[in-house]
Amino acid sequence: MSSPPVTGPAAVPEHRGGPGPARFRPRRAVPAGHARPRRRGPLSYWRQYLAISPFYLIFIAFSFFPVFYSLYLAFQRWDGLGDMQFVGLQQFKFLWSDPVFWLSIRNTLVIWVLSTVPTLFGALVLATLLHSVRRFKGFYRIALYVPNVTSIVAVAIFFGAVFSNNFGLVNAILGTVGISPVPWLSNPWLIKVVIALLMTWMWTGYNMIIYLAGLQAIPTSIYEAAKMDGAGPVRTFFQITVPIMRPIILFTVVISTINGLQSFSEPQVLFANNAANANLGGPGQAGLTTLLYFYQSAFLNNDYGYGAAIVWAFFVLIIVLVAVNWRITQRGRKA
């Protein structure tokens, strides 16, 4: 393997720009007279690659390879142990005509909207409030962030107990004011509301911290100018804060979309399967999200090919939604 002279005195100014007039030359411009303007190939950086390789090796073994292996699986029928059987696009054909798959997509989207909208709006409002707080700043920040680092299983069990149909806390409180028990965990819509509420509770603090960081980067002079022009707090919020925060909002929207569409543990724990009913997702499968359906198909029904097809179809959907999100949030930026 040939390696170009790295530390040769002549090589330094052309590559690094060096001090003096070289700085004003366009990068990579080769001075006349030099015969071989060799670029350094990636292999000459092998030490650096070696240094970062642990991450990549682990990534390849546990993420990269499984991802593409699942793509391969999507065209097979496999029970996890026996021989694989190539079935072409059959799994995707099944998918297309599987009402449960479409139900799971609907559930996921509804839960996503029901959780993301209040989460992001609430986070922005809380961040603005917290930004103007003078005392106990640290306390508020920690208090609002704690739900995000709480074990999701613990939270789901807690929500399950609080919203329990027959003996839950919420229904008990409603009962004291004369409202008859609400079937939180069996009505198809209320199931989604409870799951969305759980996710909102967990993720508002996380987004709030990100927004707060963004708010602190806005110079106070802008707010002072707005105040001078007679803008009230609400108007300042919508016409100063929100437009400046647009890139950060975009970031949180994309992240929330990816997270929100991957809801799995919440319904999985809330509606843990019992002996009599092996299905996941609760009554009427109203809490069956796409990932939960994937889990059920692959790991409970031993239909790994179909499970792989579900996640790949879902991957396409997430890409589309993120692209749509991007366009909506970006719109008007250039105008």
282 binds another protein (CB under 8 A): yes
Count of chain residues binding another protein (CB under 8 A):
51
State in angstroms the smallest separation of the CB of 230 from another protein: 49
Identify the residue among 11, 22, 71, 100 touching another protein (CB under 8 A).
Answer: 100
Question: Nearer to another protein by C-beta: 84 or 250?
Answer: 84
DSSP notation for 237-288:
IIIIIHHHTHHHHHHHHHHHHHHHHT--HHHHHHT---SS---SSSGGGTT-
Contact 14, 23 (CB under 8 A): no
CA–CA separation, 286 vs 12, rounded Å? 65
Q: Is 188 in the site for another protein (CB under 8 A)?
A: yes
Read off the tokens for 196.
Answer: 């969305």
Name the residue type at position 135. Answer: R
Residue 161, helix vs strand vs coil: helix
Determine if 46 is a binding residue for another protein (CB under 8 A): no
Assess 65 for contact with another protein (CB under 8 A): yes
Task: Please say which residue, 277 or 330, places its beta carbon nearer to another protein.
Answer: 277
Q: Residues 6 or more apart from 228 whose CB is under 8 A from it?
A: none
- 129 or 272: whose CB is closer to another protein? 272
Q: By CB neighbour count within 10 A (0-12 exposed, 13-18 middle, 19+ buried), where does 77 fall? A: middle
Nearer to another protein, 24 or 167 (CB): 167
Q: According to CB under 8 A, which one of 5, 19, 33, 167 is a site residue for another protein? A: 167
Is 2 among the residues that bind another protein (CB under 8 A)? no
3-state secondary structure of 85: strand
- Does 267 bind another protein (CB under 8 A)? Our answer is no
Q: Is 301 in the site for another protein (CB under 8 A)?
A: yes
Tell me if 64 contacts another protein by CB under 8 A: yes
In whole angstroms, how close is the CB of 94 to another protein at the nearest point? 5
Q: Which of 3, 151, 277, 330 binds another protein (CB under 8 A)?
A: 277
Which region, left, alpha or beta, applies to residue 240 given φ > 0 means left and ψ of -120 to 50 means alpha?
alpha
What are the helix and strand counts (H, E) for the chain? 16, 2
Main-chain phi, psi angles of 85, to 5 degrees: -130, 125
Alpha carbons 64 and 100: distance in angstroms, whole number = 29
Long-range contacts from 237-246, C-beta under 8 angstroms, 24+ separation:
237/128, 241/128, 241/215, 242/124, 244/214, 244/218, 245/124, 245/211, 245/214, 245/215, 245/218, 246/329, 246/333
285 counts as binding another protein under rule CB under 8 A = yes
> Nearer to another protein by C-beta: 144 or 156?
156
The reply to whether 39 sits near another protein by the rule CB under 8 A is: yes
Write down the least CB distance from residue 100 to another protein, Å.
Answer: 7
Based on CB atoms, which residue is closest to another protein, 122 or 282?
Answer: 282
Q: Which of 117, 231, 283, 329 binds another protein (CB under 8 A)?
A: 283
Q: Does 153 bind another protein (CB under 8 A)?
A: no
Candidate residues 174, 227, 284, 325; the one interacting with another protein per rule CB under 8 A: 284
Residues of this chain that bind another protein (CB under 8 A)? 39, 41-42, 45, 48, 56, 60-61, 64-65, 68, 77, 79-82, 91, 94, 97-100, 160, 164-167, 183, 185-188, 271-272, 274-279, 282-286, 299-303, 306
